Structure 1
């Protein structure tokens, strides 16, 4: 569904689309084909950056590691990656999609980032949820931030959002936007009349770091595991630009990300800036990683 007016885009703005869909475990080629169709729809509606769910190629609830391994693909030269690379080139867009990555004998819950000029980078999920620990290795690439014509873009995956360090490290490296392929599941003690905990965490992370966040969730029930949908796009002030989406149907969310507004919005008033007010004399601004701070 369209939730923006293309005529109202500012010179510094671009449209991001979050594809909420239902991948099916074991149906890798069909999942990719359906994802490509939805990406083509989003691009035809003006999206420059399109985000797909976590493990969009393979499905999520694996019977065992052998099944996960069989459904994984190598990055950036595997069949699935090549298909998304070709699509991004053809449509002149950027794509972030969750993907099961095979690296030798190791498996990662990863995200592929590709654009009009081909492969941009890979992110590997840092924080593994529940049975993911049976199949995947913990991510070993840190929190990379990629320079693109759209702005500085980072990636996180699902449970990574439960850890404020993920977004803070992205923000301290100058990220403007974090793309989040995700497979959110119901949380314990979740009230029926409240949005998912993940949406609250996303809004809080965006506000406290002055960064936009685009979350593409999945829907459906896979091998008994329900997923909650509620994809959303949040501005750097923490308020939703689009969503949360429905809990039970496939749809595409659209929102305009204005990089200049995101950056200027970090100034909260004449005395406060959400990143410059950090007490670097009290705590390590890079959380002990030793990474350089690119901008604040």
Structure 2
């Protein structure tokens, strides 16, 4: 049975917080009306937080048990889809004073299936505290997805760890407003190539973001890409068996990085991390 995942990647400007949930509900319904076979819908970073100041972001932050998360979970359940509404401003009673940039995934059953706090906030420009764990989640009959958020893509350790945890698709919601989007496009392809995974990088549209959302396959080929700043919906059907094929036969039929080591190879010390690459633990989990 083919492991396919029909996706819609929605490049839009962030929504004003005051009526974000109602407008978002209408927009998701509109996407599904246009593309009814869609199983997973993904939006940019902080899509529901079109605000102008750090103080406003703090004031709108809620816990994952709050009203906003409950409404999004209900929406996913009503529509019967995997809903990735970008990232949320999250507060946690166990971490007083901290605000997290947290990506969330809601299941078709209307449950909060996964949440991930951005590990590498864009310092010194962002107010967020870093998260402390990598997150993957399973989409039944398709495969495993992992989260990174925006600047996380600049740190190859994030994508590598997600792939090692079994992620076959890395979803990277972005709110890039600056000229370094050109480099992010290179990083999306590089992270896909060196980990042999799909990468979905979904950026905000104008007037805030610079767009150029894209989907990259496990060999680093751009499957579809949006224009620079205009609102757009990218659709694709990801064949996650492509990950299996590329890892078995190699990128370009040649390079099989996950099969690099043999039983006779000694562990390689990694002084930077005070750790090691252990050949016995190298291959991704299943």
Q: TM-score range by the shorter chain?
A: 0.7 to 0.9
> Is the 8 Å Cα contact of residues 19 and 52 (structure 1) preserved in structure 2?
yes
The residue that corresponds to 2:45 in the other structure is 54
TM-score by length of 1: 0.82
The residue that corresponds to 1:295 in the other structure is 285
Q: Secondary structure at the match of 1:47?
A: coil
Distance of aligned partners of 1:252 and 1:283 in 2 relative to their CA distance in 1, 3 Å threshold: farther
The residue that corresponds to 1:191 in the other structure is none
Distance of aligned partners of 1:154 and 1:283 in 2 relative to their CA distance in 1, 3 Å threshold: farther
Structure 1: where are the runs of 5+ without partners?
Answer: 1-9, 189-194
Higher relative contact order (CA 8 A, sep 6+): 1
RMSD between aligned alpha carbons? 2.6
**Offset of residue 36 of structure 1:** 2.4
> Is the 8 Å Cα contact of residues 91 and 116 (structure 1) preserved in structure 2?
yes
The residue that corresponds to 2:91 in the other structure is 102
**Offset of residue 256 of structure 1:** 1.2
**Offset of residue 32 of structure 1:** 2.8
Which whole-Å deviations, capped at 9, do the CAs of 1:89-141 have from their partners, x for residues lacking one?
111111122111121332101111111121111100011114544x211112x
| 1:12 corresponds to 2:12 | no
**Offset of residue 170 of structure 1:** 0.4
Aligned counterpart in structure 1 of residue 256 of structure 2, from 252, 255, 273: 273
> Is the 8 Å Cα contact of residues 145 and 153 (structure 1) preserved in structure 2?
yes
Distance of aligned partners of 1:147 and 1:14 in 2 relative to their CA distance in 1, 3 Å threshold: closer
> Is the 8 Å Cα contact of residues 269 and 276 (structure 2) preserved in structure 1?
no
**Offset of residue 253 of structure 1:** 0.6
> Is the 8 Å Cα contact of residues 44 and 175 (structure 2) preserved in structure 1?
yes
Q: Distance in 1 between matches of 2:108 and 2:197?
A: 24
The residue that corresponds to 1:206 in the other structure is 192
> Is the 8 Å Cα contact of residues 40 and 81 (structure 2) preserved in structure 1?
yes
Distance of aligned partners of 1:72 and 1:120 in 2 relative to their CA distance in 1, 3 Å threshold: same
Distance of aligned partners of 1:143 and 1:282 in 2 relative to their CA distance in 1, 3 Å threshold: same
Which whole-Å deviations, capped at 9, do the CAs of 1:47-81 have from their partners, x for residues lacking one?
1111111111112642x3x3221111211x22221
Q: Secondary structure at the match of 2:90?
A: strand
Q: Secondary structure at the match of 1:83?
A: helix
Distance of aligned partners of 1:34 and 1:246 in 2 relative to their CA distance in 1, 3 Å threshold: farther
The residue that corresponds to 2:231 in the other structure is 250
More off after superposition, 66-75 vs 120-129: 66-75
The residue that corresponds to 1:129 in the other structure is 122
**Offset of residue 280 of structure 1:** 7.5
More off after superposition, 267-276 vs 32-41: 267-276
> Is the 8 Å Cα contact of residues 186 and 196 (structure 1) preserved in structure 2?
no
The residue that corresponds to 2:161 in the other structure is 169
**Offset of residue 257 of structure 1:** 0.8
**Offset of residue 205 of structure 1:** 0.5
The residue that corresponds to 1:92 in the other structure is 80
Q: Distance in 1 between matches of 2:269 and 2:167?
A: 20
Aligned counterpart in structure 2 of residue 229 of structure 1, from 207, 211, 232: 211
| Number of residues of Structure 1 aligned to a counterpart in Structure 2 | 267
Structure 2: where are the runs of 5+ without partners?
Answer: none
**Offset of residue 185 of structure 1:** 2.6
> Is the 8 Å Cα contact of residues 93 and 115 (structure 1) preserved in structure 2?
yes
**Offset of residue 160 of structure 1:** 0.4
Which whole-Å deviations, capped at 9, do the CAs of 1:181-206 have from their partners, x for residues lacking one?
11113236xxxxxx721111101110
Q: Secondary structure at the match of 1:99?
A: strand
